[in-house]
Structure 1
């Protein structure tokens, strides 16, 4: 089955599910019900487009700042740990311990520390983006193929030369794959931080709709946030294919086509 046929089948299934949902919503939905029809949800999005746009820009800005800071910090720390393995092992274990704490548990502490403004939301998004990049990049650097390491030794490139010309290119597929995880994670984390305390944002809009039991508004926020995270994952997946055209995953995609 080629990629075009697979996409056609998937689109057909999704359209059928949406059609069934629409029929059910029009016939069975009552005010306060859980499943309003998709047409009602789209109507809510259109009617409140100005407010949703403003809230979305706020959350995207928080997530973008956290994502950029988290990726930069993860790359620097991964390189430091690679250069200083004795210190790096302890820092890596500490990072994994912090990573095991759910973001929803860290968010209140960070908001209480940094306040209700932009900084606390960006900090939560930073943590969410930081750990996937750190774990993937560190793991890729540590698992560099022995033949690559031996080539660096034969060429006498030293640590910096080996890292630049051999090991970083080897780790690039893992790094770009981690961005595909980190970007949606930063956006979701920013929304979670808004639950703790904020005056604007898509997470706050979702929270108000949930506690007000406004199901069309709740679904509108969910659809919008899902669309954004899906676009982020697709965009960084495309970036990974462009940045690493030699990787096996790109060859597998070409074969499916």
Structure 2
């Protein structure tokens, strides 16, 4: 993005926030939908200790769930690639499982695993694993045939072909999946906290919603947005570092 385009985007956001602030100052009343941004920021600052503790709980749940989901997703993708028939069945089962809305699946998992950490990790893992499965499986199936033919001519074994030829080819797809899976794990952990939790940002959001504490509600939404945006940005940077040769990384440097 050029400097001029960035300035235009920044100006748009400044104008949007300014209009929101003016509207909030003139029309906002307690219990109405849109408190002004300054009220939201003040609430976030006043509640920072409680909300940061809740956010740390959610980060732990989402982080562990993301780790489990990525390992599970990579395992299934490699299984699909290695054992075509059996792997295809597992892949289709994963598709069916992912088609069930998390908000419907969460109560069953919380009742089965309890309101502690395990249920939150399980739900976050379910949200994270599917993008990894789809992207990595598709990337492994799309490796340039000339690369594979070169491996055969050089008598490279299956494992070395996977490690040195196919997995590097799949790395950009993996990091693209992680940019989706990271924020998805945070959102899923918060959904799980709605169903049953002792602490967490999702539970704080639920209390604010039921109590019609709209500045608190918007403050929590802002904090959760910062968390998901940070997760996306981390994997964006890691993807550029890990795959400097890829076109997406080169575009990001310009």
Cα offsets for 1:111-154 (capped at 9, x unmatched): 01100011100110011111111111111111111111111111
**Structure 1 residue 150 corresponds to structure 2 residue 149:** yes
- For 2:115 and 2:154, the matched residues in 1 are separated by 54
Task: Tell me the TM-score normalised to structure 2 length.
Answer: 0.97
- For 1:154 and 1:89, the matched residues in 2 are separated by 29
Q: Residue 235 of structure 1 corresponds to which residue in structure 2?
A: 234
1:13 Cα deviation (Å)?
A: 0.8
- For 1:77 and 1:89, the matched residues in 2 are separated by 9
- For 1:28 and 1:95, the matched residues in 2 are separated by 49
1:77 Cα deviation (Å)?
A: 2.0
- For 1:199 and 1:84, the matched residues in 2 are separated by 43
- For 2:217 and 2:4, the matched residues in 1 are separated by 34
> What secondary structure does 1:91 align onto?
helix
Q: In the alignment, is the contact (CA less than 8 A) between 2:239 and 2:249 conserved in 1?
A: no
Q: In the alignment, is the contact (CA less than 8 A) between 2:76 and 2:91 conserved in 1?
A: no
Q: Residue 250 of structure 2 corresponds to which residue in structure 1?
A: 251
Q: Residue 124 of structure 2 corresponds to which residue in structure 1?
A: 125
| Count of residue pairs brought into register by the alignment | 254
Cα offsets for 1:87-112 (capped at 9, x unmatched): 11111111111111111111111101
> What secondary structure does 2:30 align onto?
coil
**Structure 1 residue 28 corresponds to structure 2 residue 27:** yes
**Structure 1 residue 113 corresponds to structure 2 residue 122:** no
Q: Residue 197 of structure 1 corresponds to which residue in structure 2?
A: 196
- For 2:170 and 2:156, the matched residues in 1 are separated by 17
- For 1:5 and 1:64, the matched residues in 2 are separated by 37
1:234 Cα deviation (Å)?
A: 1.1
Q: Residue 88 of structure 1 corresponds to which residue in structure 2?
A: 87
- For 1:6 and 1:213, the matched residues in 2 are separated by 39
Superposed, which structure 2 residues align to 1:1-257 within 5 Å? 2-254=1-253, 257=254
- Computed over aligned residues only, the root mean square deviation of the Cα atoms, in angstroms, reads 1.1
Task: Tell me the TM-score normalised to structure 1 length.
Answer: 0.96
Cα offsets for 1:138-187 (capped at 9, x unmatched): 11111111111111111111211110110001111101111111000000
Structure 2 gap ranges (5+)? none
> What secondary structure does 2:60 align onto?
helix
